[in-house]
Structure 1
Amino acid sequence: MVMKYLQRLGKSLMLPVAVLPAAAILMGIGYWIDPVGWGAESPVAAFLIKAGGSIIDNIPILFAVGVALGMSKERDGSAALSGLVAFLVTTTLLSTATVAMFLGIKVDAVDPAFGKIGNAFVGILSGIIASLCYNRFHNVKLPDALAFFSGKRLVPIMTAVSMILISVILFFVWPPVYGALVAFGEAIAKLGAVGAGLYGLFNRLLIPTGLHHALNSVFWFDVAGINDIGNFWSGKGVKGITGMYQAGFFPVMMFGLPAAALAMYHTAKTEKKKQAASLLLAAAFAAFFTGVTEPIEFAFMFLAPALYVVHALLTGVSLFIAATFHWTAGFGFSAGFVDFFLSSRLPLANQPYMLLLQGLVFAVIYYFLFRYLIVKFNLKTPGREDDDEVGEIVNAPGKDRFATMAKIIYEGLGGDANVVAIDNCVTRLRVEVKDMRKVDQQKIKSTGISGIKEVGPTSIQVIVGTNVQFVADEITKLRK
């Protein structure tokens, strides 16, 4: 149950994280126009940089709203509003000035932890509390005299009350927690390039569980004082150092994984090469251009887990190398070509084009290592499955393709009689079923999806790829 809840949390975080490309585009163009003055020498650049900063600087608020919306049962607007209310209550009550007033001391004497209360952790916590309040109170009916505050109107009120109590707890708990987070971040930071490499390794190893979001928040956002993404894009940091927890992903996502996809295609069975190519080509392009790697990773993650461990190790090595030579670039969404292009002219970008050279080397390593391991150990990567594992791929022309896929997938899940709830993240359908035995995985696989993962006795994920939203929309139409 805990793992399932954390996976839902990770999925909910994808909504606010998806907003970051807007900030990346705005700030990237602004810095491209004025890479030296950071907007001081160009009104247009200043406008774009400040517009992008309005998103980057408010990531905790986006998390509060996004998590509240994503974790609530009906994804209702009152849940999102409650997430904002929760965050405002906590950050106001525990602000440095307010704490100083409570304690009757000077602002300078307040624990520095309270100066960082408006962080991603508190944003996520606010969203969780708001979603719990929504799920508990959105159907509550009060006496007639208070009927106006019944139902969804009651949710923000109860959220505010709940966060007052949470704030009292945080008043005592947050300083030591913050201290521990800072100590952890500083311990990794002191390891320099080795720390960056370890982070890259565990980032990939945690992808199957969805817990990588928690790890990312420590290094990418201002939870433990590192704030690698925010500082890199705002120009607040040390050139060649800030961005070290981002740069090493570019060689892997833009070059390594597409090369791995090529190796998987070349080692596919002759009669299944066309089928494998349709999956791997689109996945490779998504990884290179946008940095979205789940379509490739889930294509072999469960078919050949040992190969995925090799991929995680190579990711760690990539971050280690980039950090060792102080090659830095950053991303607002993921380490694809778009973010590389936009970040390469940022003030803190340091020899970013060396990452492309590193990427070419990693492409060679990924291709030949993956090809060798696949053939040597007969790993069941896409196109190498046993003949009875995957049926004939179902295709349909044009826009009817997603409707056809949706119909077959939904039937394979057991239809209305078996499907309890269905949702989607960036690449996966997340489904709750009554009876896993009624799920026909072979039928679902016949649509050409990347893979299937059972995450619990009644929970299953169907890895569709970046077109998952269109399939999910079609399934919604089918549900009664």
Structure 2
Amino acid sequence: MSVLSYLQKIGRALMVPVATLPAAAILMGIGYAIDPSGWGSENALAAFLIKSGSAIIENMSVLFAIGVAYGMSRDKDGAAALSGFVGFLVVTTLCAPAAVAMIQRIPLEQVPAAFGKINTQFVGILVGIISAEIYNRYSQVELPRALAFFSGRRLVPILVSFVMIVVSFILMYIWPAIYNALVTFGEYIQQMGSVGAGIYAFFNRLLIPVGLHHALNSVFWFNVAGINDIPNFLGGQQSINAGTAIAGITGRYQAGFFPVMMFGLPGAALAIYHCARVENKAKIASLMIAAGFASFFTGITEPLEFSFMFVAPVLYLLHAILTGISVFISAQMHWIAGFGFSAGLVDMLLSVRNPLATQWYMLIPQGVVFFILYYLVFRFTIKRFNLLTPGRELQVVGDEADGYDTDVDTVLLSKGDETQALARRYISAIGGSDNLTGIDACITRLRLNVKDSAQVNESLARNLGAQGVIRLNKESVQIIVGTRAEIIASAMRNVLAAGPVSAARSVSQIAAPETAPLAVAPSAAAARPVVVSLMSPITGDIVTLEQVPDEAFASKAVGEGVAIRPTAPEVLSPANGTLVKVFGTHHAFCLETDTGAEVIVHIGIDTVMLNGQGFTCLVEEGSKVTQGQPILMLDLEYLTAHAQSLISPVVIANMEAFGTISAVATGKVIAGQTRLLDITAK
């Protein structure tokens, strides 16, 4: 799995804990608005709201440890979440100042200040990742009988505890060095004036994912290097009289955050919403509205930032750059407003009457500009590079919005009841729910794990419309059902969730749908007019379907056509038409030509197991494409090393609607230039 794919997996896992943050941010914002100076000490309601919200915000790191461990575990089991929590407790306890003093045999006052900041998002995410990997690897281990109680999932928290001792030991030595390096860096750039303010803001955002922005904040906001921006600004006239603050200067490390938090990030949220799939927009709207409002009203940006920082790191880099530009502009122009909590509407209104606020109102038009800038930059980047921001990576159905983490895309069903009935019958044909242990799908086939493949009734499956049944071994079966494979697989999961399904015993128990057999007209019909000619989508060498190392393709159960062994990375559209399906892992796509032919281009064999690594999709599902338009880019070096085979079938899945198919090309073919297949009318 590539680094980007792994980061996207982390990002999807973070969606569960991130979804709790907007409510906490709003509670704290309202409480702070009620009691802006006392932080709840002078108002019971304000204290209640602030403490309620801070209970979540101040424990983000442990929420991340639990959420990442749970979200990245292969079966989303509670034991993984428990392991994340256990691991977090071990690390933060061993790396707490008192523990460090005891372990290293030094006085408490000599413990580096960095250990007071060990409870960060970085540690939470790190612990969650390690816990999930241990769970995925060891949750099914069986110990000797005497220790059988600790086998499987019970073993994972024990292993995590020991691993975290090692992690803690490493952090004891590298954490202070990292923390102190950031403080030194902050002290250096403070001499650079407005430019230094912009550089600080850039790194402030860039360090949010690992929680180390506190090291920089201590330099510029508090009295580590003599700046003391927040305390001096909040001191108002008293700070000026004491000579500790300078009007037009004090607050410059704060002011530029207002245009970003109040305007820029909500613009980014709008772009993410507009770029989501149509069927996902209702779900994404609720998330983006809550996160955008939290950013605007309170200045708490983590709910929004964590929604895209891992799934689309390039967007987060652009966000950091734009933040740096905003802080530089406001510092250079001496547009100053400060905050005590964060750069949201509440703090802006409170800072208006502060004597240190200078032309604070200019931050509003600057914010409007940044709203537009963020929207345009985010929307262009998401579309141009097909980034998998929330709502784009899969199609959310029903209540499946908890992390956007499924193995295959689920699809909205226009014929829900009919599909559910068909799915139930397939389960019956497989031997019922008692025989079925796992459901997956490729672009044309159901990939099923069963207890005994001998219980699968092939004749019943064919009566349901299956084009073939392949028994790979005793526990693995593939059923060729065509391009609706993912829809049927999703419906099968829903049926199983509703209750058990019994095995079918005869053909009469399963109503046979009206299906036309897959057939190719005899060669005598070749005189019929050619309705579509397909150009080769791939540059490479022609291989007959019989030579494809996959029974489904070799037996022509998936469709008629040829295969190509790629020698160049670009995959083009073989004809004009609509890209009706792009598989989630980008290893295959289905094109419906303008003449109605369903063309499946499948790169390699069993490449679905690579989880998208080695493939870059250039066109969105549902797009109209023209012949020769680039669809995919392949990393041939990676695929050659990791794929079972690179032989890539190009087949017509609905030949029953046409007459004959003939292979025109032999030998070597060039993508977009060599005529590959001719299809005639029926």
**Structure 2, unaligned stretches of length 5 or more?**
223-228, 234-250, 296-302, 385-397, 402-408, 415-440, 447-484, 491-581, 590-600, 603-616, 625-630, 637-682
- Give the C-alpha shift of residue 27 in structure 1: 1.4
Distance 1:347 1:309, change over 3 A: closer
The answer to whether the 8 A contact 2:266-2:293 is kept is no
Partner SS state of residue 414, structure 1 = coil
Q: What is the match of residue 406 of structure 1? A: 412
The answer to whether the 8 A contact 1:68-1:83 is kept is yes
- Between 45-54 and 319-328, the greater mean CA deviation after superposition: 319-328
After superposition, where does 1:154-303 map in structure 2 within 5 Å?
A: 154-187=155-188, 191=192, 193-198=194-199, 217-219=211-213, 222=214, 226=218, 239=233, 240=251, 243=254, 246-250=257-261, 252-253=263-264, 286=289, 289=293
Instruction: Give the length in aligned residue pairs.
Output: 384
Distance 1:246 1:144, change over 3 A: farther
- Give the C-alpha shift of residue 183 in structure 1: 3.2
Query: Comparing both structures, which one devotes a greater share of its residues to helix?
Result: 1
Question: What letter is aligned with 2:336?
Answer: H
The answer to whether the 8 A contact 1:247-1:355 is kept is no
The answer to whether the 8 A contact 1:28-1:345 is kept is no
- Between 119-128 and 3-12, the greater mean CA deviation after superposition: 3-12
The answer to whether the 8 A contact 1:139-1:152 is kept is yes
Q: Distance in 2 between matches of 1:25 and 1:197?
A: 28
- Give the C-alpha shift of residue 238 in structure 1: 5.2
Q: Considering only aligned residues, what root-mean-square deviation do their CA atoms show, in Å? A: 5.7
Q: Distance in 1 between matches of 2:182 and 2:204?
A: 17
Q: Distance in 2 between matches of 1:102 and 1:322?
A: 47
Q: What is the match of residue 327 of structure 2? A: 319
Question: What letter is aligned with 1:414?
Answer: I
Partner SS state of residue 406, structure 1 = coil
Q: What is the match of residue 360 of structure 1? A: 365
Q: Distance in 1 between matches of 2:204 and 2:445?
A: 37
Partner SS state of residue 123, structure 2 = helix
The answer to whether the 8 A contact 2:66-2:85 is kept is yes
Partner SS state of residue 327, structure 1 = coil
1:184-240 superposed Cα distances (whole Å, 9 cap, x missing partner): 455556656434534666899xxxxxxx67657433xx465559999xxxx975543
- Give the C-alpha shift of residue 178 in structure 1: 2.5
Distance 1:362 1:241, change over 3 A: closer
- Give the C-alpha shift of residue 321 in structure 1: 2.8
Q: Distance in 2 between matches of 1:368 and 1:177?
A: 33
- Give the C-alpha shift of residue 85 in structure 1: 1.0
Q: Distance in 2 between matches of 1:82 and 1:17?
A: 19
- Give the C-alpha shift of residue 123 in structure 1: 1.9
Distance 1:148 1:241, change over 3 A: farther
**Structure 1, unaligned stretches of length 5 or more?**
205-211, 265-274, 374-378, 385-398, 423-428, 447-452, 459-480
Q: Distance in 2 between matches of 1:331 and 1:414?
A: 51
Question: What letter is aligned with 2:412?
Answer: A
- Give the C-alpha shift of residue 107 in structure 1: 0.9
1:7 and 2:8 correspond = yes
- Give the C-alpha shift of residue 139 in structure 1: 1.3
1:74-118 superposed Cα distances (whole Å, 9 cap, x missing partner): 232222211111111112122222222223322112232323222
Q: Distance in 2 between matches of 1:193 and 1:413?
A: 55
Q: Which has the higher contact order (CA 8 A, sep 6+)?
A: 1
- Give the C-alpha shift of residue 158 in structure 1: 0.6
Q: Distance in 2 between matches of 1:366 and 1:189?
A: 28
Highest Rg: 1 or 2? 2
The answer to whether the 8 A contact 1:34-1:42 is kept is yes
Partner SS state of residue 444, structure 1 = coil
TM score, norm. by length of structure 1: 0.60
Q: What is the match of residue 622 of structure 2? A: 444
TM score, norm. by length of structure 2: 0.44
Distance 1:250 1:329, change over 3 A: farther
The answer to whether the 8 A contact 1:242-1:348 is kept is no
Taking every aligned residue pair, what percent have the same amino acid on both sides?
Answer: 40
Q: What is the match of residue 125 of structure 1? A: 126
Question: What letter is aligned with 2:110?
Answer: A
Q: Distance in 1 between matches of 2:169 and 2:316?
A: 44
Query: Comparing both structures, which one devotes a greater share of its residues to strand?
Result: 2
Distance 1:169 1:354, change over 3 A: same
The answer to whether the 8 A contact 1:228-1:242 is kept is yes
Question: What letter is aligned with 1:249?
Answer: V
Aligned pair partner of 1:432 in 578, 585, 590? 585
